[in-house]
C-alpha cells in the first residue's frame, strides 16, 4: 500500500542541512515535505487551528533552541492529533531513553542519528499509512453520525432493539406498539442507516461515535 499522493511529511529541525537532506531523501520516494526551522513555527500552525484532512506525519528533532521537540509533541498530544499526525522523533544517542518514553506516550517511532535513509523513509511511509487509516475511520464515523441524526426518537428505539437481535414481536411488546409499526420503523432504519440486516446494523453501530 502506497501513501496517498496528497500526503505531506512535516520536518521540524533547526539544522538547515538536515532539513535539506531530509527533503531530498523524501523526494526520492515522491513524498512532498514542508520544512520548519523551529518548533515555534509549527506550533503557530497548530495554534491557527490546523487539523489534518490528508495523510501526514511529522519528523521532529528532539533538541532545538527555544521550544523543544518534546514540548511540541506534548502540544500535539494535547490537541488530540497524535493518531492522525504520527510523530517520528529524530534523536541523538543521549536522547534515546527519552524518545522511547515518547513512543510509550503515543509517538509513532524514533530514529537515532545517524539513521539509515531507507529505514527512515520506510517508517515515514508506514506513518502516512497510519494517518490515512485514522482519517478514513474518522470520516466513516462522521458519515455514521450523519445517518443517526436523520433518525426519529422512535426509530432510534427500534434500531437499538433490532441491533440486539430481538424479533419484531418482542420489540413491539417492549415499546407498546404494533408489530406492523415495528416493521415500518425497521424498514426506515435500514434505509437511513444504509444496511440490509440486523447484523450489519449492529456492526455499524459498533463503529459509531460515542453519544
Contact 64, 14 (CB under 8 A): yes
pLDDT on residue 126: 95
pLDDT on residue 174: 94
pLDDT on residue 80: 93
Task: Give the DSSP letter of residue 56.
Answer: E
Rounded percentage of the chain residues whose pLDDT exceeds 90: 78
Average pLDDT, the chain: 91
pLDDT on residue 185: 96
Distance CA 114, CA 121 (A): 14
pLDDT on residue 102: 87
pLDDT on residue 117: 86
| Alpha-carbon distances of 44 from 76, 98, 165, 194, rounded to whole Å | 12, 25, 50, 41
| Closest alpha carbon to 115 in 18, 29, 31, 39 | 18
Distance CA 162, CA 189 (A): 10
pLDDT on residue 2: 54
pLDDT on residue 91: 87
Residue bearing cell 541523538:
92
pLDDT along the chain (211 residues), means of 10: 74 94 92 95 94 95 92 95 95 80 90 86 95 93 92 95 94 95 96 94 83 56
Contact 105, 78 (CB under 8 A): no
Distance CA 168, CA 186 (A): 9
Amino acid at each position: 500500500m502506497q501513501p496517498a499522493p496528497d500526503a505531506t511529511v512535516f520536518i521540524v529541525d533547526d539544522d538547515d542541512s538536515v532539513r535539506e537532506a531530509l527533503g531530498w531523501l523524501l523526494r526520492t520516494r515522491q513524498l512532498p515535505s514542508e520544512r520548519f526551522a523551529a518548533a515555534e513555527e509549527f506550533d503557530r500552525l497548530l495554534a491557527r487551528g490546523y487539523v489534518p484532512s490528508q495523510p501526514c506525519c511529522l519528523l521532529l528533532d528532539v533538541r532545538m533552541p527555544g521550544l523543544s521537540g518534546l514540548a511540541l509533541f506534548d502540544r500535539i498530544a494535547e490537541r488530540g492529533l497524535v493518531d492522525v499526525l504520527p510523530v517520528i522523533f529524530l534523536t541523538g544517542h543521549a536522547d534515546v531513553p527519552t524518545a522511547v518514553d515518547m513512543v510509550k506516550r503515543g509517538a509513532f517511532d524514533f530514529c537515532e542519528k545517524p539513521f539509515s535513509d531507507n529505514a527512515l523513509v520506510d517508517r515515514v511511509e508506514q506513518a502516512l499509512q497510519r494517518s490515512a487509516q485514522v482519517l478514513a475511520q474518522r470520516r466513516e464515523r462522521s458519515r455514521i453520525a450523519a445517518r443517526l441524526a436523520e433518525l426519529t426518537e422512535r426509530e432510534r428505539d427500534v434500531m437499538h432493539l433490532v441491533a440486539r437481535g430481538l424479533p419484531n414481536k418482542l420489540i413491539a411488546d417492549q415499546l407498546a406498539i404494533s408489530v406492523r409499526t415495528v416493521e415500518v420503523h425497521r424498514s426506515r432504519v435500514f434505509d437511513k442507516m444504509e444496511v440490509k440486516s440486523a447484523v450489519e446494523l449492529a456492526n455499524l453501530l459498533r463503529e459509531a461515535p460515542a453519544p
